[in-house]
Structure 1
C-alpha cells in the first residue's frame, strides 16, 4: 500500500480509504490509485484486514481422503459459505494424520468455526472441541455434545431399502456393516429392526465404509454353498467393492445377487455401476451445516441443535427380483 501511495504521490492513509471504498478522495485520484495498484500487482489483503478486526470469516472443514460422498459435501459447502460471506479452508485426515491434527491445523489458521465431515473421533473429544470453538458435524448423531449435528434419518433410509427388497421377493438379505465408521451403528440397528418387522432372519457381516470391506465380504460369500439373494451395504464404496468381487467370479448383478448401497455418491451414478442406493442430499446437508455454524458465530446465545433430513431410495440397475441362485458360486477372487 505504501508503494502504491508513493507512486501516485498521496498518503498511505488515503490509499487505505480508497481500497476500503470510503469517502475522501476524488474519482480522478481513485482511478490513479487503482491503475498504480494494477501496475504494481498489488491486491488488498482482506484476510489481514479481517484479522485486525478480530475476525477471519473463514470456516475450516475436516474431511477424510478417499471418501467420495465427503467430496460431494465439500462441493455443497463452498457456495453456501461464499453466499454468506465466508471463505473455506480444508484439512484432510489420512493414515498417519488423525482428525485432531487436522483440527489443530485449521484452528492455527484462525478459522472461526469448524465443519467436521463424518468424524470418527470419540464423543468426549468432540464435545470438548465444541466448548473451544463453534463446531458443526455432518453425518453423525452426538446427543448432548456441544456441537451442531446435521445428518440423514438413517432408520428411514434403511427401512426403505429393506422394504423395497422384500417387495421384490427377497427373503435372504445380508447386511455388510460399516464397523465403527459414522452412521454404521444406526444403519445396523435399522437393518435388524426392518428384518424383524418382516419376520425374516438377519445376518450382519462386519465391514467398513470402503471398497476393501466390500471385496472381503464378497470373498466370504463366495466361499459359502449358496449366496443370499440380496445384500444391503452400509455405504456405496462397500457396495462397489462387493460388486467388483462378484463380477470377477463371473456373477451378474442383479441376476445372481441384488445389491443396495447407501449415500448416492457421484460414483453410484456411473452407467457401469448404476447402483441402487439410499440418497443422502449432500447439498442440503452442507447448507444446513454452514448455516448452523454461522448462526452461532453471529449469536453466541444460540444453542447447538440437531437437524435431521429425510433420505430417498434411488432405484437403479443393481436390484431386481430374486433369480435362480447358483449352488456352486465360483472361485474366491479378489
Structure 2
C-alpha cells in the first residue's frame, strides 16, 4: 500500500488542520470547541479548512461551527444487573439534556489509570463514576465529577447514593418484627459500598439489641458465583443456620437461595432472605425476592443534572444527594422458624 493510499484512511487531526491553515494547534482547538479567543476571520478560515479535509472532532459528529462541550465520561467496574440499569438511566438522562456519554470499563487487568486514559482520547468534559469505589478519584477537583453509590470526602466530588444506614435499618427491623434474631449478612466483597452496608448491618443489629447475633459472611465479590461460594462456605462451617440472611445485592441473594434450595433448605420456611437494589431479577416470578429498592433511573437523572449544573456554573445545595430507600416485601421473608 502506498503512503498516499494509506493517508486516505488516516484520521485527520487537529495538527493536520492547523498545518493546512497555517495556524497553531491551540487556535484550531479553540475554534473546534467554540471557545473564546479566535477572531471571526480565523474561525471562518479554520472551519473551512476542516471541512475540506473531512475533519471530525473526536467521535462527536456535530456541526463544526456549533460544537459545544457536552460529553460525559462514565467509568464502571464489574457491572451487575443494577449497574446496567444505572447505565441505561444515564443514557436516557444525558440524551434528555442534549449530552453524550462515552463509557470505559475496569477489568482485572485494566485499572483506573488505564480506563481514564482511554477516555482522554474523547476529551470528555465531566466524569460519572460507578466504579472503582475509591476514597479519592484521580480526577477529583480537576473536572466536574460525580460518584454514584459511595461517599468521597474530597470537596471537589459530588455524590449520589442511597442511605445504606436506613436500608439496613429497614431490613433488620422487618426481620425482627417477624421474630428473627439470628440474622446474618452476606457481604459483597471489600469495596467501599460493601463495607458501608456491612457496617450499617452491624449498627442496625446493635440498635435492635442483637449485638451477640452479628454474623458477617464474606464474599469475594458481588456476583452470583461469589454468592454461591460464600453460601456453601457458610453451610460448611458447622455453625447453626441463621434464621435470616440480608445480602449485599439481589444477585448474591439469588445465589444464596439457589444453594439453599440444593441443600433442601426452604425459603422462607427455614430461612428468610432479603436482597438489595430491587433489580429486574428481584421481581421475577421464579424469585419474588424481598429487597431494598433503589431507583437507578432517578439516581442517573440526579447524577447528570449535577454534572450539567457544575459545568454551567449554576449554584447547587451541598455536594451529597442521599436518597431514602424503600423495603419491598415479597415472598422470601416470613416468620422465624427456630425448630
TM-score, reference length from structure 1: 0.77
Is contact 1:254–1:317 with CA below 8 Å preserved after alignment?
yes
Quote the residue 2:101 is aligned against: 88
Distance 1:56 1:300, change over 3 A: same
Pick one of 184, 192, 197 that aligns with 2:202: 192
Is contact 2:135–2:153 with CA below 8 Å preserved after alignment?
no
Displacement after TM superposition at 1:180 (Å):
1.7
Displacement after TM superposition at 1:304 (Å):
7.1
Pick one of 283, 292, 307 that aligns with 2:306: 292
Q: Deviations over 1:241-298 (max 9, x none)?
A: 2112111212221111111111111111111121111111111110110011111111
Matched, 1:133 2:133: no
Distance 1:247 1:66, change over 3 A: farther
Quote the residue 1:111 is aligned against: 124
Q: Deviations over 1:214-258 (max 9, x none)?
A: 212221232225311001111112112211211121222111111
Q: In the aligned structure 2, how far is the partner of 1:302 from the partner of 1:323?
A: 50
Quote the residue 1:152 is aligned against: 162
Is contact 1:181–1:209 with CA below 8 Å preserved after alignment?
no
Displacement after TM superposition at 1:49 (Å):
4.7
Distance 1:308 1:51, change over 3 A: farther
Matched, 1:47 2:47: no
Is contact 1:153–1:310 with CA below 8 Å preserved after alignment?
yes
Is contact 1:254–1:320 with CA below 8 Å preserved after alignment?
yes
Distance 1:269 1:185, change over 3 A: same
Displacement after TM superposition at 1:53 (Å):
6.2
TM-score, reference length from structure 2: 0.76
Quote the residue 2:217 is aligned against: 205
Is contact 1:176–1:234 with CA below 8 Å preserved after alignment?
yes
Distance 1:225 1:180, change over 3 A: closer
Pick one of 46, 52, 77 that aligns with 2:90: 77
Q: In the aligned structure 2, how far is the partner of 1:227 from the partner of 1:106?
A: 47
Matched, 1:231 2:245: yes
Query: The residue matched to 2:141 in structure 1 has which SS?
Result: helix
Q: Which segments of 5 or more consecutive residues in structure 2 lack a partner in the other structure?
A: 1-53
Range that drifts further, 45-54 or 198-207? 45-54
Number of equivalent positions: 280
Quote the residue 2:185 is aligned against: 175
Displacement after TM superposition at 1:133 (Å):
1.8
Is contact 1:140–1:149 with CA below 8 Å preserved after alignment?
yes
Q: In the aligned structure 1, how far is the partner of 2:64 from the partner of 2:303?
A: 24
Is contact 2:82–2:296 with CA below 8 Å preserved after alignment?
yes
Q: Deviations over 1:83-129 (max 9, x none)?
A: 11101122222222223322221222111111111432x323x1x41
Q: In the aligned structure 2, how far is the partner of 1:205 from the partner of 1:51?
A: 56
Give the alignment's Cα RMSD to 1 decimal: 2.4
Q: In the aligned structure 2, how far is the partner of 1:130 from the partner of 1:312?
A: 31
Matched, 1:282 2:296: yes
Is contact 1:119–1:137 with CA below 8 Å preserved after alignment?
no
Pick one of 165, 173, 179 that aligns with 1:163: 173
Runs of 4+ in 1 over 6 A off after TM superposition: 50-54, 300-304
Q: Deviations over 1:195-228 (max 9, x none)?
A: 1122112111122322233212221232225311
Range that drifts further, 222-231 or 76-85? 222-231
Distance 1:302 1:218, change over 3 A: closer
Distance 1:286 1:276, change over 3 A: same
